[in-house]
Structure formats: C-alpha cells, structure tokens
C-alpha cells in the first residue's frame, strides 16, 4: 500500500451557514457552498473537470445530478458517494484518488443534506428496526455507550456536560454555526432528557447545510491563488466495522473499532507516530457528547479510560494542547449528514491557513478530521497539513 501524501492539495473551501434553512432547497445549498469554494480557489465553474457529492438521504438528492443539475455543469463526471454519516468525507477521499491518479487536474468534493423538511424519520434506516432493539433511536443507541462508560470508568453526566459547554463556547464565535450561544454546566445538566444519560445538550441538532472543497495536485496549487497557503492531504483513511456494532454481542460499548481502524491507517499513511503530540487540532464527530469523549481515546489523543479527563483538564480547549472542535462541532453546527465531513475539512483547512471563521487555533500545522457513521460501522479520518 502507498500513500496519498504530497499528491493532493486543497486550494479552495466553501460552506453555507448551517441551520434550519426552510427557505432553501438542497440545490441552493450546493450552489452556495460550491461557488464559495470556487471563488476561494479562483477557479471558474467551467474549469471543474469532475466532482463528487456526498449525500445520505435519497429523497433529498440522488446520483451525481444532485451536484451537476444545480451547478449546470453538464458533460463532466459527478459521482455520488454514500457511506452513512461519513458520506461527505468519503466523497472527498474518492475525489483525492482521482486527482492523485493523474486523470483530473481540478475537481470539487461537496457534501450536502437537508434534514429539516422531512426529519430523520424519513431516513432510510430500517436497520434500526432490529428484532432485538426494535425501533431504537440514535440517542438511545449512543446512550448505551454512555451508561457502559459510567459503569466502567466512573464517568458522570458532568463529564458529558463539559463537552457541550466547550463546544458551545466555540460555536458561539463561529458565524456559520447553527447554535451560537455559550451554555453553562447548569444549562447542560438541567436540560430535558432525551435518552438517559443524554440530555438535550448532549445531542447534536437537526440542521441543513452544505460544504465544498476544490482539490488539485500540488504543482497546480503552486500556481494558484492560494499558492502561499494551500493545504496538503496527508492521509485519507476510511474503515468499515461490522454494520451494526451496537447490535452486536461482541460490542463492548467502550469505543468504536471503525475509528481505531481508520486512525491507525491514517497515522501510518501520514507518518504520524504520536498523534497526541503531532496533531495540532481536530474536528471530530460529536454526534453525542459521549461520542466525542470516546473519539479522543479511539484516535489516540489519550489513553483508554482517560477521555473524560482529557476534556476536563482542558486539553481539548481552543488554547489547549490538542484543540478539538474549535468550530463548535456537530453540537453547534448540527449534522446535515452528507455535509458534515466536508464541513470539517473546510474548518481544518481554514484553521491551518490561519483564517478560521471562529476561534483560531494557534500555530496549527497538522489537522485531523474524523467522521463516524453507521452508527459506528464506518469511519473516515483525514489528515491535512500546511504546505510548508
């Protein structure tokens, strides 16, 4: 196996404001994100040679036309990638391979989802209707991980609440976040219960949004508008675990094998030996507060069992030694499914370039984005680095 390292560069990023965008169609969101990315790259729409669109929800959009129709880009290839909640980052991954193969010079990866119109009840998740756990919800599933960890490690609702407080503090500063207000520990702890021990502030919201990236080879990036601050793709890992890990007797509910697989592959590909020391910042999949804590462990930011301490001790703060979700995360952006992975890459790119929309991480050189789906059956880990 080889590596994507030094073969692919990001030269433009775009992102809509996330939120309850009742007045916008998915087509509007794609156009808004993609045109912002193209403008950022200084690339004309007609210069796009191929595109990839990440979207889960078949009733919002189907096939490559989800991108080509609103963009009026006909004659070029557009692939739809769907991989549960990791759809957006996997669309980006496939776009990277196509560029690295030498076939295309300039391509776009875009993620989009519109959840407000139909809600997750419309999602094609018949898998949730398992004969044993029939009809369980996403909060209900992730709550099982929280209770198991409470029992195993002695974590508490306070440990979960610290994640929500940190992410709301960050999200309050981000102009594109859905929720833009700080919350207190008391707010988080007294919020209505969704699925014990996960209260309202432990769960990410339903949102609409889109994000896009313009990708090329480094030699072309060297002549681009962002020639001085383009971002290199250092690793592009995806891993599948069993399709319904939380319905499996072998699941220990103490972490996600898919994340561990993908992290191991990504670190090997990027040549990262000690992620806790080498990674400057991370956007991780905090669909629930407990997930973010488990991600710290699965990604090797801290030892197994130390996830709650990692956030409590401030390591994950914007001014900590490994800032996590400086954007506000899924907690403040919500999780329009296909969009999230590309939104994370948008954020990491701008952080590395020193032009974050919200809270800026200092001296960021190597950034990680982590997108979990399935729930827990698939994980995408991308590592981006500054050109210099």
Which spans of this chain sit near a second copy (rule: CB under 8 A)? 1-4, 7, 49-50, 58-59, 62-65, 68-69, 73-84, 90, 93-94, 96-98, 100-105, 124, 126-127, 236-243, 257, 261, 265, 269, 373-374, 377-378
Provide, rounded to whole angstroms, the least separation between the CB of residue 124 and a second copy. 4
Cβ 59 to a second copy, closest distance in Å? Answer: 7
DSSP state of 7: T
In the complex, what is the shortest distance from the CB of residue 51 to a second copy, in angstroms, rounded to a whole number?
9
Q: Is the peptide bond before 372 cis (omega within 30 degrees of 0)?
A: no
Which of helix, strand or coil describes residue 332? helix
Nearest to 123 by CA among 95, 164, 93, 87: 87
- List active site positions: 85, 335
Query: Is 315:283 a contact under the CB 8 Å cutoff?
Result: no
CB of 94 to a second copy, least distance (A): 5
Element (H, E) at 68: helix 65-71
Give the contacts of 97 (CB within 8 A, at least 6 positions apart): 4, 236
Q: How far apart are CA 119 and CA 25, in angstroms?
A: 14
**Which residue's CB is nearer to a second copy, number 89 or number 326?**
89
Nearest Cα to Cα of residue 161 among 127, 136, 189, 133: 189
User: Can you tell me the distance from the alpha carbon of 153 to that of 134, in angstroms, rounded to the nearest whole number?
Assistant: 28
- C-beta separation of 291 from 142 below 8 A: yes
Q: Closer to a second copy by CB, 2 or 192: give it.
A: 2
């Amino acid at each position: 196996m080889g590596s994507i390292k030094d073969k692919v560069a990001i030269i433009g990023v775009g992102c809509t404001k996330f939120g309850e965008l009742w007045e916008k169609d998915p087509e509007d969101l794609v156009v808004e994100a993609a045109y912002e990315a193209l403008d950022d790259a200084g690339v004309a729409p007609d210069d796009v040679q191929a595109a990839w669109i990440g979207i889960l929800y078949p009733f919002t959009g189907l096939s490559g036309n989800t991108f080509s129709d609103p963009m009026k880009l006909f004659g070029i290839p557009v692939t739809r990638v769907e991989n549960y909640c990791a759809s957006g980052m996997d669309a980006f991954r496939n776009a990277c391979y196509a560029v690295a193969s030498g076939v295309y010079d300039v391509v776009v990866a875009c993620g989009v989802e519109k959840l407000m119109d139909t809600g997750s009840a419309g999602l094609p998740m018949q898998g949730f209707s398992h004969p044993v756990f029939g009809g369980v919800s996403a909060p209900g599933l992730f709550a099982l991980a929280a209770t198991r960890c409470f029992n195993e490690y002695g974590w508490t609702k306070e440990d979960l609440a610290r994640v929500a407080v940190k992410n709301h503090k960050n999200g309050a500063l981000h102009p594109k976040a859905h929720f833009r207000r700080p919350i207190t520990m008391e707010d988080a702890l007294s919020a209505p219960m969704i699925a014990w021990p996960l209260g309202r502030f432990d769960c990410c919201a339903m949102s609409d949004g889109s994000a896009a990236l313009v990708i090329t080879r480094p030699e072309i990036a060297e002549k681009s508008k962002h020639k001085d601050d383009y971002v290199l793709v250092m690793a592009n890992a995806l891993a599948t675990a069993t399709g319904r890990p939380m319905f499996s007797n072998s699941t220990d509910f103490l972490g996600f094998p898919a994340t561990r697989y993908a992290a191991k592959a990504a670190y090997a590909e990027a040549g990262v030996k000690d992620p806790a020391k080498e990674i400057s910042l991370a956007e991780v999949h905090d669909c629930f507060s407990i997930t973010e804590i488990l991600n710290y462990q699965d990604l090797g930011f801290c030892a197994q069992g130390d996830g709650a301490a990692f956030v409590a001790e401030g390591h994950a703060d914007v001014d900590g030694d490994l800032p996590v979700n400086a954007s506000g995360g899924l907690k403040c952006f919500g999780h329009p499914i296909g969009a999230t992975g590309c939104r994370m890459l948008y954020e990491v790119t701008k952080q590395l370039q020193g032009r974050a929309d919200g809270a800026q991480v200092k001296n960021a050189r190597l950034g990680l984005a982590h997108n979990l789906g399935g729930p827990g059956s698939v994980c995408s880990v991308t590592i981006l680095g500054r050109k210099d």
